[in-house]
Amino acid sequence: MIIEKVKEYIKAEGLDSPSREQVLRYKRHYICYRLKRYSRFKLYEIGNLFNRHHATVLNSIKAHHDLKKDKVYQDTIAETKQFFDDIKFEHEIVKRDLYKDVRCATSLYSLNKIKDYMDKGAYEHLKQQL
């Protein structure tokens, strides 16, 4: 299962330690981003993997977006990125009902959430029906 592989990686790299060393921080930022973006894990679940609070996970995701074009950051996370590129999250994606989601959308936030679901492939099963 995916979560077991991720837990093993986190443990092996020492990412669940309280250390604030730059290399460990950068790897945590990237993993938090990938888990939130491509899986169903909630913030507190991701935080539990690292022995951190959900707010720290949010901060890590923001830090990833701020640093993603930085050369040092890219070099630091290269190995971690390769590890996650090898993991397929497809079966972790929840299939959603586009019609129901659009009908229930009452705000710009809701529509942006639908866009995020589309980016994650939550409506891919509907392409077969077209």
Share of the chain above pLDDT 90, in %: 53
Amino acid identity of 14?
Answer: G
* CATH architecture designation of domain 2-91: Orthogonal Bundle (1.10)
Task: Give the tokens for residue 68.
Answer: 């993603």
- Supply the pTM of this predicted model: 0.68
Distance separating alpha carbons of residues 92 and 9, to the nearest angstrom: 18
Which tens digit of pLDDT belongs to each residue from 14-28?
999 999 999 999 999
Domain with CATH 1.10.1750 in the chain: 2-91
Distance separating alpha carbons of residues 108 and 26, to the nearest angstrom: 32
Which pLDDT belongs to residue 3?
Answer: 78
